[in-house]
Structure 1
Protein backbone atom coordinates (compact mmCIF):
# COMPACT_ATOMS: atom_id res chain seq x y z
CA UNK A 1 0.00 0.00 0.00
CA UNK A 2 1.37 3.42 -0.96
CA UNK A 3 1.24 6.22 1.57
CA UNK A 4 2.45 9.82 1.68
CA UNK A 5 2.46 11.95 4.82
CA UNK A 6 2.99 15.72 4.58
CA UNK A 7 4.66 17.16 7.69
CA UNK A 8 3.99 20.90 7.56
CA UNK A 9 6.56 23.12 9.24
CA UNK A 10 3.80 25.16 10.90
CA UNK A 11 2.39 22.02 12.56
CA UNK A 12 5.65 20.72 14.09
CA UNK A 13 5.69 20.23 17.84
CA UNK A 14 9.07 20.25 19.61
CA UNK A 15 9.68 18.46 22.90
CA UNK A 16 12.57 19.05 25.32
CA UNK A 17 15.62 16.89 24.62
CA UNK A 18 18.63 16.27 26.83
CA UNK A 19 19.56 17.99 30.08
CA UNK A 20 18.57 21.55 29.14
CA UNK A 21 15.14 21.65 27.49
CA UNK A 22 15.48 25.38 26.72
CA UNK A 23 18.49 24.71 24.51
CA UNK A 24 17.75 21.34 22.89
CA UNK A 25 14.47 20.07 21.48
CA UNK A 26 13.22 17.44 19.08
CA UNK A 27 10.25 16.97 16.76
CA UNK A 28 9.79 13.29 16.01
CA UNK A 29 8.21 12.83 12.60
CA UNK A 30 8.49 9.19 11.54
CA UNK A 31 8.28 6.45 14.14
CA UNK A 32 7.03 2.87 14.42
CA UNK A 33 3.44 4.03 13.89
CA UNK A 34 4.34 5.00 10.29
CA UNK A 35 7.31 2.83 9.35
CA UNK A 36 8.53 -0.61 10.28
CA UNK A 37 12.11 0.21 9.28
CA UNK A 38 13.17 3.83 9.75
CA UNK A 39 12.67 6.85 11.99
CA UNK A 40 13.14 10.55 11.26
CA UNK A 41 12.70 13.99 12.76
CA UNK A 42 13.99 17.50 13.27
CA UNK A 43 16.17 18.55 16.23
CA UNK A 44 17.41 21.92 17.50
CA UNK A 45 20.60 22.59 19.48
CA UNK A 46 21.57 26.02 20.79
CA UNK A 47 24.56 26.54 23.09
CA UNK A 48 24.33 23.05 24.54
CA UNK A 49 25.99 19.65 24.53
CA UNK A 50 23.84 16.51 24.67
CA UNK A 51 25.79 13.31 25.32
CA UNK A 52 24.44 10.08 23.85
CA UNK A 53 25.51 6.71 22.48
CA UNK A 54 23.55 5.97 19.33
CA UNK A 55 21.77 2.63 19.37
CA UNK A 56 21.01 2.75 15.63
CA UNK A 57 22.60 3.98 12.39
CA UNK A 58 21.89 7.70 11.95
CA UNK A 59 22.07 10.23 9.13
CA UNK A 60 22.15 13.93 10.08
CA UNK A 61 21.62 16.84 7.67
CA UNK A 62 22.31 20.37 8.92
CA UNK A 63 19.47 22.70 7.91
CA UNK A 64 20.27 25.91 9.83
CA UNK A 65 23.02 27.34 12.03
CA UNK A 66 26.22 25.62 13.08
CA UNK A 67 25.96 22.03 14.23
CA UNK A 68 28.77 20.04 15.85
CA UNK A 69 29.09 16.35 16.49
CA UNK A 70 31.75 15.54 19.08
CA UNK A 71 33.10 11.98 18.98
CA UNK A 72 35.92 11.56 21.48
CA UNK A 73 38.64 14.01 20.44
CA UNK A 74 37.15 14.49 16.96
CA UNK A 75 34.78 17.38 16.29
CA UNK A 76 32.74 17.50 13.09
CA UNK A 77 31.63 21.10 12.43
CA UNK A 78 28.81 21.40 9.91
CA UNK A 79 26.90 24.17 8.15
CA UNK A 80 23.61 24.03 6.20
CA UNK A 81 23.77 21.37 3.51
CA UNK A 82 26.43 19.22 5.25
CA UNK A 83 25.59 15.58 5.97
CA UNK A 84 26.96 13.21 8.64
CA UNK A 85 26.54 9.45 8.89
CA UNK A 86 26.95 7.90 12.34
CA UNK A 87 27.20 4.16 12.94
CA UNK A 88 25.44 2.28 15.71
CA UNK A 89 27.36 2.23 18.98
CA UNK A 90 29.07 5.61 18.55
CA UNK A 91 29.43 7.61 21.79
CA UNK A 92 29.01 11.28 20.94
CA UNK A 93 27.69 14.71 21.90
CA UNK A 94 25.27 16.75 19.80
CA UNK A 95 26.13 20.48 19.97
CA UNK A 96 25.30 23.66 18.11
CA UNK A 97 24.67 27.37 17.88
CA UNK A 98 21.23 28.04 16.48
CA UNK A 99 21.42 24.65 14.79
CA UNK A 100 18.47 22.84 13.26
CA UNK A 101 19.10 19.37 11.82
CA UNK A 102 17.11 16.67 10.09
CA UNK A 103 17.89 13.13 11.20
CA UNK A 104 16.97 9.70 9.91
CA UNK A 105 17.68 6.49 11.78
CA UNK A 106 17.49 2.74 11.35
CA UNK A 107 16.05 0.63 12.85
CA UNK A 108 13.00 2.56 13.99
CA UNK A 109 12.37 0.12 16.85
CA UNK A 110 15.84 0.51 18.39
CA UNK A 111 14.51 1.20 21.89
CA UNK A 112 12.36 -1.95 21.90
CA UNK A 113 15.29 -3.99 20.64
CA UNK A 114 17.54 -2.61 23.39
CA UNK A 115 15.01 -3.51 26.09
CA UNK A 116 14.72 -7.05 24.71
CA UNK A 117 18.53 -7.50 24.56
CA UNK A 118 18.89 -6.24 28.17
CA UNK A 119 16.42 -8.89 29.36
CA UNK A 120 18.38 -11.73 27.71
Structure 2
Protein backbone atom coordinates (compact mmCIF):
# COMPACT_ATOMS: atom_id res chain seq x y z
CA UNK A 1 0.00 0.00 0.00
CA UNK A 2 1.19 3.52 -0.75
CA UNK A 3 2.13 6.12 1.85
CA UNK A 4 -1.11 8.05 2.18
CA UNK A 5 -1.05 11.46 3.86
CA UNK A 6 -4.04 13.04 5.61
CA UNK A 7 -3.75 16.82 5.99
CA UNK A 8 -6.03 18.10 8.76
CA UNK A 9 -7.26 21.67 8.30
CA UNK A 10 -6.45 22.72 11.86
CA UNK A 11 -2.86 21.45 11.50
CA UNK A 12 -1.99 23.26 8.24
CA UNK A 13 0.94 25.68 8.33
CA UNK A 14 0.80 28.76 6.09
CA UNK A 15 3.92 30.81 5.30
CA UNK A 16 4.18 34.31 3.77
CA UNK A 17 4.12 34.08 -0.04
CA UNK A 18 6.40 35.93 -2.42
CA UNK A 19 7.63 38.48 0.11
CA UNK A 20 4.09 39.65 0.88
CA UNK A 21 2.82 40.23 4.42
CA UNK A 22 1.11 37.00 5.58
CA UNK A 23 -2.29 38.73 5.79
CA UNK A 24 -2.01 39.57 2.05
CA UNK A 25 -0.58 36.36 0.63
CA UNK A 26 0.30 33.03 2.22
CA UNK A 27 0.95 29.50 1.05
CA UNK A 28 0.73 26.02 2.52
CA UNK A 29 2.78 23.59 0.45
CA UNK A 30 1.27 20.15 0.92
CA UNK A 31 2.91 17.89 -1.64
CA UNK A 32 6.45 18.45 -2.85
CA UNK A 33 9.36 16.37 -4.16
CA UNK A 34 9.77 14.69 -0.77
CA UNK A 35 6.30 13.08 -1.10
CA UNK A 36 5.85 12.71 -4.87
CA UNK A 37 8.08 12.26 -7.89
CA UNK A 38 5.51 13.73 -10.26
CA UNK A 39 3.11 16.33 -8.84
CA UNK A 40 2.93 19.10 -6.28
CA UNK A 41 -0.07 20.56 -4.46
CA UNK A 42 -1.03 23.04 -1.80
CA UNK A 43 -3.25 25.87 -0.65
CA UNK A 44 -2.73 29.59 -1.15
CA UNK A 45 -4.49 32.70 0.17
CA UNK A 46 -4.64 36.10 -1.56
CA UNK A 47 -6.20 39.26 -0.14
CA UNK A 48 -5.61 42.68 -1.64
CA UNK A 49 -2.38 41.78 -3.42
CA UNK A 50 -1.09 41.14 -6.92
CA UNK A 51 1.73 38.62 -7.37
CA UNK A 52 3.30 38.46 -10.80
CA UNK A 53 4.86 35.17 -11.89
CA UNK A 54 5.48 33.03 -14.94
CA UNK A 55 4.44 29.48 -14.09
CA UNK A 56 7.19 26.97 -14.82
CA UNK A 57 4.78 24.03 -14.61
CA UNK A 58 1.23 23.10 -15.60
CA UNK A 59 -1.13 24.27 -12.86
CA UNK A 60 -4.72 23.56 -11.90
CA UNK A 61 -6.39 26.03 -9.50
CA UNK A 62 -9.63 25.37 -7.62
CA UNK A 63 -11.19 28.33 -5.81
CA UNK A 64 -12.34 27.31 -2.33
CA UNK A 65 -13.28 30.66 -0.74
CA UNK A 66 -13.59 34.33 -1.60
CA UNK A 67 -13.00 36.03 -4.94
CA UNK A 68 -9.91 35.03 -6.94
CA UNK A 69 -8.53 36.81 -9.99
CA UNK A 70 -5.97 35.54 -12.45
CA UNK A 71 -4.51 38.20 -14.77
CA UNK A 72 -2.98 36.95 -18.00
CA UNK A 73 -1.98 39.91 -20.16
CA UNK A 74 -5.15 41.92 -20.80
CA UNK A 75 -7.39 39.01 -19.80
CA UNK A 76 -8.74 38.82 -16.25
CA UNK A 77 -10.40 35.64 -15.05
CA UNK A 78 -12.79 36.35 -12.17
CA UNK A 79 -13.37 33.16 -10.18
CA UNK A 80 -15.51 32.25 -7.17
CA UNK A 81 -15.83 29.10 -5.04
CA UNK A 82 -16.16 25.98 -7.15
CA UNK A 83 -14.51 27.50 -10.24
CA UNK A 84 -11.52 25.66 -11.72
CA UNK A 85 -8.75 27.24 -13.83
CA UNK A 86 -6.19 25.39 -15.98
CA UNK A 87 -2.89 27.25 -16.50
CA UNK A 88 -0.39 25.86 -19.04
CA UNK A 89 3.34 25.90 -18.37
CA UNK A 90 5.19 29.15 -19.25
CA UNK A 91 2.13 31.40 -18.77
CA UNK A 92 3.01 34.87 -17.42
CA UNK A 93 0.29 35.92 -14.96
CA UNK A 94 -0.64 37.66 -11.72
CA UNK A 95 -2.44 36.00 -8.81
CA UNK A 96 -4.92 38.31 -7.04
CA UNK A 97 -7.84 37.97 -4.70
CA UNK A 98 -10.19 39.29 -2.07
CA UNK A 99 -10.22 36.89 0.88
CA UNK A 100 -9.48 34.14 -1.64
CA UNK A 101 -8.32 30.66 -0.71
CA UNK A 102 -7.40 28.29 -3.52
CA UNK A 103 -6.18 24.74 -3.89
CA UNK A 104 -3.51 24.22 -6.54
CA UNK A 105 -1.98 21.17 -8.13
CA UNK A 106 1.07 21.37 -10.36
CA UNK A 107 3.11 19.16 -12.63
CA UNK A 108 5.98 18.59 -12.59
CA UNK A 109 6.94 18.75 -8.95
CA UNK A 110 10.63 19.13 -9.88
CA UNK A 111 10.03 22.38 -11.80
CA UNK A 112 12.72 24.22 -9.81
CA UNK A 113 15.45 21.71 -10.72
CA UNK A 114 14.30 21.65 -14.36
CA UNK A 115 14.56 25.44 -14.57
CA UNK A 116 17.80 25.94 -12.59
Whether these two folds match at TM > 0.5 is yes
In structure 2, what is the equivalent of residue 10 of structure 1? 10
User: CA–CA distance in 2 between the matches of 1:27 and 1:46?
Assistant: 15
Separation in 1, partners of 2:28, 2:45: 9
- CA–CA separation in structure 1 for the residues paired with 2:4 and 2:19: 34
What's 1:62 paired with?
Answer: 63
Give unmatched runs, 5+ long, in structure 1. Answer: 116-120
TM-score (ref. length: structure 2): 0.96
Structure 2: any 5+ residue segments left out of the alignment? none
Please, what TM-score do these two structures have when normalized by structure 1? 0.93
- Residue 104 of structure 1 deviates from its aligned partner by 0.1
RMSD, matched Cα:
0.8
Partner Cα separation in structure 2 for residue 92 and residue 2 of structure 1: 35
How big is each residue's C-alpha offset from its partner over 1:71-116, in whole Å with a ceiling of 9 and x where there is no partner?
Answer: 000000000000000000000000000000000000000001111x
Residue in structure 2 matched with residue 97 of structure 1 by the alignment: 98
- The alignment covers a number of residue pairs equal to 115
More helix by share: 1
Task: Identify the residue that residue 113 of structure 1 maps to in structure 2.
Answer: 114
Counterparts of residues 23-38 of structure 1 (less than 5 Å): 23-38=24-39
Mapped partners of 1:15, 1:85: distance in 2 = 24
SS of 2:115's equivalent in the other structure is helix
Q: Secondary structure, in 3 states, of the residue corresponding to 1:111?
A: helix
